[in-house]
Chain A
Amino acid sequence: MEDADFSNEFCRFIQQAIPSVEAAEILLFLQKSPDRAWSLKDIIEGLRASITISEADGAKWVELLQSRGLVTLGQDRRALYRPASPDLEESARGLARAYAQRPVTLIRMIYALRDTKIQSFADAFRIRKN
């Protein structure tokens, strides 16, 4: 996967919709079985091998994914992978590719993008910008 795949749109997607590795894991988990609606407990259980997520955190990420149009929540609070637009679908597939091929770069990027505003605070104190 080339660096070109980390395009500006992809970075914008990550910055908007994927603020943590947990959120990425949850989305990719749901993406693997797109016809099945999962309860929060099942998601956490299903991810237990790769990552530990508390119920509170899990609920928070699922709600965030829903608000970004990647996931729908049914009446029974079960989550279903449903990107709201072809662009979101494409970005979500890009996320899966990045996770499979360049996981370390992806993770560093997620956190770097999350911290851009804070980092701008620190960078403001550089008197001469390079």
Chain B
Amino acid sequence: MDILNLVLYAMAVLTSVACMALLFRGYAQTGVRLLLWSALCFVGLSINNVLLFFDVIVFPTEVDLRPFRLIAALGGMLFLLYGFIWESE
């Protein structure tokens, strides 16, 4: 069960990191600012995923990283929404 959890967490982290990398690369190649804000969103979501991993697998009882996880994700989403509202057309 733990191996499965590990794999699923790893998948989530890799997916959000991949999105971040592809969007940063897209921004570097095209200069479209929407991609920058989107990349920053996935920075936040990746941090959220990594902290979740630490929160649950590494330090399940000692530490509650929930506020930091939520702040990272929320920060990321604010970048994304800013980009969608102001830079998408």
A and B touch in the complex (CB under 8 A): yes
Q: With CB as the reference atom, state the residue of chain A lying closest to B31.
A: A120
Pick from B23, B87, B88, B89: contact of A124, CB below 8 A. B23
CB <8 Å contact, B89 and A117 = yes
CB <8 Å contact, B88 and A120 = no
Whether, in the assembled complex, B56 has its beta carbon less than 8 Å from a beta carbon of chain A, the answer is no
A19 to B88, CA, bound (A): 13
Chain B residues in 8 Å Cβ range of A117: 32, 34, 87-89
Whether, in the assembled complex, B66 has its beta carbon less than 8 Å from a beta carbon of chain A, the answer is no
CB <8 Å contact, A125 and B34 = no
CB <8 Å contact, A120 and B26 = yes
Whether, in the assembled complex, B30 has its beta carbon less than 8 Å from a beta carbon of chain A, the answer is yes
Chain B residues in 8 Å Cβ range of A125: 19, 22
CB <8 Å contact, B35 and A121 = yes
Q: With CB as the reference atom, state the residue of chain A lying closest to B39.
A: A124
**A98-130 interface with B by 8 A CB criterion:** 114-118, 120-121, 123-125, 127
Chain A contacts to B: CB under 8 angstroms:
19, 114-118, 120-121, 123-125, 127
